[in-house]
Amino acid sequence: MARQRRTGVELAVVLQCSQQSASRRLNGGQGLDLDDLPLIAEWLGISVMDLIAPARERVAS
């Protein structure tokens, strides 16, 4: 997000949630719903697989 200069406020709009809820999701205080992944990926201009790739690589190690 930082590389693309995206903000938590913008993420809240994309996810149709409060800024506080978006912040908790970013900070790990609240989990992401699977339904959020395609929305976030599209917003970032990447695929869902690219979005979750680092997590998959950590689990595989």
CA distance 56 to 21: 25
Residue linked to tokens 């930082």: 2
What pLDDT sits at residue 5? 80
Residue-wise pLDDT tens digits, 14-60? 999 999 999 998 888 998 899 999 999 999 999 999 888 876 565 55
Confidence of residue 3 (pLDDT cuts 50, 70, 90): low
pLDDT of residue 52: 85
pLDDT of residue 55: 61
Residue 50 confidence (pLDDT): 87
Sequential DSSP letters for the chain: -TTTT--HHHHHHHHTS-HHHHHHHHHTSSPPPTTHHHHHHHHHTS-HHHHHHHHHHHHH-
